[in-house]
């Protein structure tokens, strides 16, 4: 996937329908599949308001809505990944905000097939060049099945 304008304005491009990673529009933002898929199913909940930089900036009702959407996305990732890969272990949920200034939550599926020295550590311990920068783990059409499965689970959990 080439570097395009939507990456510089992920939330604005999602609102305009130009962000190709968007799986679903949720009440508080956008469920997107991650650009990097070394852990298949990695997803992110983007806030719908790029001016919001941290969870505590949201008024209580919007904060609860965001956390509810985060939990829904995490459960959808869990269900989809468990269905597609018997080595699925669990999901990890993180709100960090150290790189991108807008509120977003990372949903990381974890698997039994991960390297033994990394499976119990935060995903940020994965080597940068191979996992975070190289083409091998970039989002591509080979991830369409996991993307579709997460979308189906999001829809099922909406009802």
pLDDT digits (tens, 9 = 90+) for 42-93: 999 999 999 999 999 999 999 999 999 999 999 999 999 999 999 999 999 9
The vertex-89 CA angle with 25 and 21, nearest 5°, equals 25
Greatest pairwise CA separation for the chain in angstroms = 42
pLDDT tens-digit profile of 5-32?
898 999 999 999 999 999 999 999 999 9
CATH architecture assigned to 5-158: 2-Layer Sandwich (3.30)
pLDDT on residue 149: 98
Give phi and psi for 128, each to the nearest 5. Answer: -65, -55
Measured between alpha carbons, how far is 111 from 100 in angstroms, rounded to an integer? Answer: 26
Domain boundaries, the chain: 5-158
How high is the pLDDT of residue 2?
Answer: 45
């Amino acid at each position: 996937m080439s570097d395009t304008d939507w990456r510089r304005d992920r939330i604005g491009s999602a609102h305009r329908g130009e962000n190709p990673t968007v799986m679903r529009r949720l009440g508080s933002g956008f469920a997107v599949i991650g650009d990097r898929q070394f852990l298949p199913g990695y997803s992110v909940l983007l806030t719908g308001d790029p001016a919001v930089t941290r969870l505590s900036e949201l008024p209580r009702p919007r904060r609860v809505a965001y956390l509810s959407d985060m939990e829904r996305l995490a459960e959808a990732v869990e269900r989809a990944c468990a269905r597609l890969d018997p080595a699925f272990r669990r999901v990890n949920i993180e709100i960090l905000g150290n790189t991108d200034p807008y509120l977003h939550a990372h949903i990381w599926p974890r698997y039994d097939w991960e390297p033994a020295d990394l499976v119990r550590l935060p995903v940020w311990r994965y080597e940068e060049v191979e996992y975070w920068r190289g083409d091998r783990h970039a989002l591509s059409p080979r991830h369409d099945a996991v993307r579709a499965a997460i979308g189906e689970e999001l829809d099922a959990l909406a009802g």
